[in-house]
Amino acid sequence: LQVRLSGRVPQICCLHGPSAAGGAYMPAFTDWVGMVDGNASMYLASPRVAEQVTGERTTLEEMGGARMHATVSGCGDEVFDSDWQVIAAARLLLSYLPSSWQAEPSRLTGAEPETDSWPDDLIPADPNTAYDAMSVISRLVDARTFFEIKPRWATEIVTGLARMDGRVVGIVANQPSVRSGAIFVDSADKAARFVMLCDAYNIPLIFLQDVPGFMVGVAVERQGIIRHGAKMVTAMASAVVPKFSVVLRKAYAAGYYAMCAPGFEPRATLALPTAAIGTMSPEASVSAVYANQIAAIDDPAEREAFVAARIVEQKADQNLLRMASEIVVDAIVQPNRLRIELSRRLAAADGWSRPAVGRHHVISPV
């Protein structure tokens, strides 16, 4: 029944105690799981059974406690100190969701953001300098409306529901203050699940990009970063709700694609003046493309001058005005106008509808 209802009506789980064996799958099938710290747990076998089968000694909290599931496994969305808090959070979440997939989320009277000031250094010009994505989100959405989904898990990406001028929106944002905002295996899964949730319940999506790309290296390749990344791209590309992409700063490589690049038909791709779009950073690109030429130059000063000249060429290729002229981006927006621009474009999307005949389901990467 839960599977048949999935994506048709919201399913919310407030977990106040243990959910064991086959019963552990019941929360897993829901759209959101809130867990009471110290009481709630999910596990397929108790620590005693696990010890008998595998010889492993552990505790209930370590193997299936609320904090483990909210920070490590991703099965839990949030941890609460008491029963009433998890119930209050569930009620708040339901206020963002429609009664079914055939209804629209309720619109309320809009409110101003927590702050409308944009200091010049809010988004540092240096792409390697970290900042908190929440400082951007708080300037875009109505004050105190951001409901973060899975805030303790895969924190290099931020997902959550909010209101913008009273309309419900889903936000997917790279988090430069954690792992530089690169997309890892878990963050790809987190984003994919959230995009599917929003698409199921008619919630427009806003992607806030500041991404160096998907993480690379032996460890993530063995974890299946290609497979998990494909899952994120599939979810994003399959979503039919209105999508809007905003390039805040860097947008490189496949991370740019996964965060709803123009080829995936967002309603608009907007860019701040700090934006840079490309296959990789100019420095990395020069190092990769001109590796042999650089290695062949013996004189350090000549080598440095050669590299500097090539970096200037690469940066020119990423020029925002050129990209706007080629409709890679639809508009270059000043930061203090971004909320207004997004609100207007959301208003223009009012009354959108799903295709009359939906496509047969995709075969999503596992």
Total domain count for the chain?
A: 2
- pTM of the complete model: 0.93
Look at residue 242 and tell me if it is in a domain. Answer: yes
Contacts of 110 (CB under 8 A, 6+ apart): 142, 163, 164, 165, 166, 167
Range of the domain at 15: 2-94
Contacts of 134 (CB under 8 A, 6+ apart): 146, 158
What's the CATH number where 164 sits?
Answer: 3.90.226.10
Distances (CA, A) of 255 to 6, 157, 235, 327, 345: 28, 12, 14, 19, 24
Contacts of 41 (CB under 8 A, 6+ apart): 17, 18, 19, 20, 35, 60, 61, 64, 65, 66
CA distance 116 to 274: 18
Determine contact, residues 171/141, Cβ cutoff 8 Å: yes
Look at residue 59 and tell me if it is in a domain. Answer: yes
pLDDT at 340: 97
What is the DSSP-derived secondary structure letter of residue 260? T
pLDDT, block means (10 residues), the chain with 366 residues:
93 95 93 96 90 90 94 97 98 97 96 93 93 98 98 98 98 97 98 98 98 96 97 96 97 95 95 88 81 87 87 76 74 96 97 85 83
Residues 220 and 341 in one domain: yes
Residues 88 and 137 in one domain: no
Look at residue 123 and tell me if it is in a domain. Answer: no
